[in-house]
Structure 1
Amino acid sequence: MQLSKRVKQKLELNTGERLLRLSVQQVMIIAGALLSALGYAVFQVPHNIAAGGVSGLGIIVNHLTGFPVGMFFLLFNIPLFALGFFWLGRWQFVWSSIVAVIVFSVGSDIFIRYLPLWLEHYPLTSDGLLAAIYAGVLYGLGTGLIYRYGGTIGGTSITARIIYNVTGYPLSQSYLFTDLAVVLISGFIFSMETALLATITIIMVGIFSDFVLEGSSQMRTLMIVTENPEPIRYAIINELKRGVTEWEVTGGYSKTKRTMLYLTVLRSKIYDVKYIISRIDPDAFMVVGVSQQTWGGFNAPKIDRR
């Protein structure tokens, strides 16, 4: 009970800290929604790139009926909020998502209406491929910010995030599953070339939203199985200035006792580790894995050099 109480005390925030955290979250969600709306209005709508989701359906409906894409996006999201309410945080989810959806919807219609007046050349490019790529970059960066700070941009991103939370699938894969039908419809309404461009946009959105959520992977996880661990451990600590964890393991086939060394290093240091192992124990077995993020324990151990 005492431990539980101490943990809760450490996690609790005072009123000022809670308000500051909430304010930062909402500001970043608004910024992400505006960035997504800009990419949508500048690159997707002028080229009819219906890259899945409710925003893609909005482009199709706008083409057929002239109904504003932003207003369609807002109205279509109302039933989806009910789904997100039960799966993604109830009122906290609804509040963050409402902010993002309203800002995106209003921002899209404003950009579409006034950008032709503000810009000398609109659309910015006549090349559909460039439009598809940059639409994915801006939309992906914007949605990544929204997801990172606890919201969604509504639409099929609600279902995609539910899949992400439940199954652990990357958002890029979830988007592909939930948006494929809209892309196929756009292929029949516009052209198959437009559908192919929309697919590129979806892929770019997934890549850049994952990038904002998780960052670029600069760290690598190494597992080294060796019969001669001490000199390798000493070289890693002294030459690379990295800590290392070791434990005894047994070969599944040979039943031979060995030592496994575990450490994380920068991607640029992989060659140095390989060089150390090749010089000290060429028979050692090493596995290199990708670590998306590392946290804590960054200081190199203090080595007694006397």
Structure 2
Amino acid sequence: MQQNQLKGPLYVVPKKSFILRFIYNQFLIILGSVLAAFGYVVFQVPFQIAAGGVSGLAIIINEYTGLTVGMLYLILNIPLLVLGYYQLGGLKFLLSTINSVVVFSLASDVFVRILPLYMKVYPISQDLLLNCIYAGVSVGLGAGIIYRAGGSMGGTSIPARILQKHTGFPLSQSFLYTDIIVIVLAGFVFSWEKSMLALLTLLLCGMASDFVLEGVSQVRIAWIITDNPKVMSRTLMTELQRGVSMWQMTGAYSDTERTMLYCTVRRSQVSDLKFLVSSIDPKAFLVIGTAQQAWGGTGFTNLKSPSGR
């Protein structure tokens, strides 16, 4: 829906709020990248668990070249960053993703050097299954923090997020589709046992990132009771590109008439929805529920399309 098709007042979020939110998100991206790099170096690299993606490909190439996994991760991400620039938000996406890619690369190489020196026991465990489980959880939590902040770890997470954007598939499924080739390659290079463990790590990573992104369903339903319905509805339609319905209601306790708004959004938009609602009307009453799928309407798959049948 084009902005010039909307009528009524529009709430303009102060530039200061956007700047502070951007800085906060970059901090989260750095935090998530460091956590993911720690899990990657401690649980994956020493045991050649190439759990898909560019990070897994870096482990495979490292076996033959001797180049550090962090440097390989950075180099391999360059063409994918170009793809993400055009598909996932332009400059804003690129800045957040470069932040994550650079921090993950540097942190990985730093951890590879210093952890064996400062940890009494490195690696922590020689059990492949334990390492694969904790790799999936730690890297997945870090990745989830990054995605929730609006960033990306780069690598095959870029085509995975593009797939999620256009199909609504959970990230766990999207990762599986985009990373399976690397896992199969790892089976030929290392062993099929490690390849099977890598697949388990990938699945756990996707589940952990889905958990951080707030649940496993694809969409969220929001009910908003506010005293500024026109400003709220137009702002949500403009900023989130989602349709909004409204109706009058009467509070049983206060016996006063209020307006309730109804809006369905992608789960990745929940943070933006909360931000906009609290900025427009701090006294608004917001309830967010879950839904498994959403078809038709503004911003969702058309019921007449092949994927909507």
Whether TM-score is above 0.5 comes out as yes
For residues 175-194 of structure 1, the aligned pairs below 5 Å read: 175-194=175-194
**What do the CA deviations read for 1:131-150 (whole angstroms, capped 9, x no partner)?**
00000001100111111111
**What do the CA deviations read for 1:153-203 (whole angstroms, capped 9, x no partner)?**
000000000000000011101111111110011111110000011011000
Residue 65 (structure 1) shift: 1.6
CA distance 1:214–1:111, shift in 2 (3 Å) = same
For residues 216-231 of structure 1, the aligned pairs below 5 Å read: none
| Counterpart residue identity of residue 124, structure 1 | I
Separation in 2 of the partners of 1:2 and 1:77?
A: 39
Separation in 1 of the partners of 2:14 and 2:39?
A: 38
Look at both structures and tell me which one has the larger radius of gyration over its CA atoms: 1
| Counterpart residue identity of residue 76, structure 2 | F
Unaligned runs of 5+ in 2: 222-288, 293-309
Residue 290 (structure 1) shift: 6.5
Equivalence for 2:174: 174
Residue 2 (structure 1) shift: 11
Contact 2:163 2:174 in 1 (8 A): yes
For residues 195-214 of structure 1, the aligned pairs below 5 Å read: 195-214=195-214
**What do the CA deviations read for 1:71-110 (whole angstroms, capped 9, x no partner)?**
0000111111111011000000000000000000000000
Separation in 1 of the partners of 2:66 and 2:8?
A: 58
> How many percent identity over aligned positions?
52
Contact 2:170 2:216 in 1 (8 A): no
Equivalence for 2:37: 37
| Counterpart residue identity of residue 119, structure 2 | L
Contact 2:210 2:216 in 1 (8 A): no
Query: Does residue 46 in structure 1 map to residue 46 in structure 2?
Result: yes
Deviating runs (4+, > 4 A) in structure 1? 289-292
Query: Does residue 23 in structure 1 map to residue 20 in structure 2?
Result: no
Separation in 2 of the partners of 1:167 and 1:174?
A: 10
Equivalence for 1:108: 108
For residues 19-168 of structure 1, the aligned pairs below 5 Å read: 19-168=19-168
Separation in 2 of the partners of 1:71 and 1:133?
A: 25
CA distance 1:85–1:44, shift in 2 (3 Å) = same
Number of equivalent positions: 221
**What do the CA deviations read for 1:214-254 (whole angstroms, capped 9, x no partner)?**
2478xxx9xxxxxxxxxxxxxxxxxxxxxxxxxxxxxxxxx
| Counterpart residue identity of residue 55, structure 1 | S
What is the CA RMSD across the aligned residues, in angstroms? 2.2
Instruction: Report the TM-score, using the length of structure 1 for normalisation.
Output: 0.69
Equivalence for 1:251: none
Separation in 1 of the partners of 2:212 and 2:175?
A: 16
Residue 64 (structure 1) shift: 1.5
Unaligned runs of 5+ in 1: 222-288, 293-306
